[in-house]
Structure 1
Amino acid sequence: MPIKETWQKIKPSKKIIKMFLAVLLIVAVIIVVKTGVYKKINFKTKTANLPQGNLTLSELGENDSDKDGIADWEEILWGTDPEKYDTDDDGVSDGEEIRSEKVKRGALANTNPNTTDIFARDLLVTISSLYDTNIINIDILAQEVVNNITKNKEPFYTTQNITITNNVESYFNNFLYILSLDITGWEEFVDFIKYSNGDTNIELMNIEEKGTEIIEISKEVINTPVISEMKEHHLELANSIYFLGESLTKMSKIESDPIQSIEGYYSYLKYYDILNQTILIYNNEIEELIN
Structure 2
Amino acid sequence: MYGKKIWIPSGILLIGVIIFLCIQIFMGFQIEKQMNYLFGKMANYVDINYETASYSLLSSKMTFKNLEIRYLKNNSTLYVKNLVIYDIDTTSDFPSHMDMHLAGLRLNNSKPGSIAAQIQELGYSHPIKLYIDLSYTYNKKEKDLVIERLSLGADDIGALSYSLHLGNVDMGNDSHNALKEYNHFLVYSSVLSYRDDSAFNKYVEYQAIAKGISEEKVRDDIFNLIDTSKEGSIFFNMSDEVRSEALAQVRKFINNPATISLSITPKKPISVEDWLRIKKSSQEEVRFDINVY
For the aligned pair, the TM-score class normalised by the smaller chain equals under 0.3
TM-score (norm 2): 0.22
TM-score (norm 1): 0.23
Q: Higher helix share goes to which structure?
A: 1
Q: Higher strand share goes to which structure?
A: 2
